[in-house]
Amino acid sequence: MYREQRPPDAFARWIECAWSSETTEEGDAYSVRPDGCIDIVYSPAHGLRIVGTMTAEQRFHFPAGMQVVGVRFSPGKAGTCLGVAPPELTDESIALEDAWGARARTLEQRLREAKSPGETVALLLNGIPRPQAQPNSVQRAIEAISAHRGACDLDEVASQAKLSVRQFRRRCLQESGLTPKHLSRILRFRHACELAQRSQRRDWPDIAAEAGYFDQAHLIHDFHEFAGATPVAVFSNTAGAPSR
């Protein structure tokens, strides 16, 4: 069982959602697809961890009957809130203690004492420092890429951020862990997955066109890179598993 909830207003531009999931009695293996985001994830089995931006689908295994909670940061926003360098986290998972030290240990102890997933999520959100400033120009540019689900002119985005294409590439990598082009491709792939998730009859050429792909072959190429299989195989195997 997987649930999402909106973050507090103070985090509206920084956090996509908080989420919770409970494994079945037999235990679960979750297939998690790239989505351009960084998460803080807590489970009794694995503790409190930061899961970096992914460039390929990963599988996570949890014991039977375990509650897992997390906070998903919007693309390009985790570094400001967590005080970490996103490029160092790409395709990696580290203990939050490695970034926060004693503060993370104190928070993890509180999470272990929580009586419900709702209380755990609330404690996790309360443990994240509130941003002291508005998003910077690069983060706002990444917001624009996200709002267009990757289907936008990156040269124009860089210009609006008052940066050269080369400068924007470097700054986007610093803020999100991905280059603008790579982030755009992942966000477009994520959009295609969301369209497929909602569709009762998956017409892949139509999904490719709506997600901004040149053609279906282009869509299939990205599915192979990011999920390791064709679109049909991914959705027949995952039964619509959430991307994160």
Answer whether residue 188 is part of any domain: no
Cα separation, 23 vs 3, whole angstroms: 12
pLDDT at 242 over 70: no
Answer whether residue 164 is part of any domain: no
Answer whether residue 112 is part of any domain: yes
pLDDT at 243 over 50: no
Long-range contacts of 228-234 (CB under 8 A, 24+ apart): 228/56, 228/57, 231/192, 231/196, 231/202, 231/204, 231/207, 232/202, 232/204, 234/193
pLDDT at 240 over 60: no
Mean model confidence pLDDT for the chain: 92
pTM of the entire predicted model: 0.92
What pLDDT score does 28 carry? 65
The model's pLDDT over 199-212, given as tens digits with 9 standing for 90+, comes to: 878 999 999 999 99
What pLDDT score does 217 carry? 97
Beta carbons of 208 and 216 less than 8 angstroms apart: yes
Cα separation, 26 vs 96, whole angstroms: 28
Answer whether residue 42 is part of any domain: yes
Answer whether residue 206 is part of any domain: no
What pLDDT score does 172 carry? 98
Answer whether residue 232 is part of any domain: no
Portion of the chain with pLDDT greater than 90, in percent? 82
* Cα-based angle 71, 87, 35 (whole degrees, multiple of 5): 45
The model's pLDDT over 66-81, given as tens digits with 9 standing for 90+, comes to: 889 999 999 999 999 9
Cα separation, 189 vs 195, whole angstroms: 10
The model's pLDDT over 88-108, given as tens digits with 9 standing for 90+, comes to: 999 999 999 999 999 999 999
What pLDDT score does 25 carry? 67
Mean pLDDT, residues 123-151: 95
Q: How many domains does the chain have?
A: 1
pLDDT at 244 over 60: no
Answer whether residue 52 is part of any domain: yes
What pLDDT score does 206 carry? 96
Answer whether residue 226 is part of any domain: no
68 is in which domain, residue-wise? 2-126
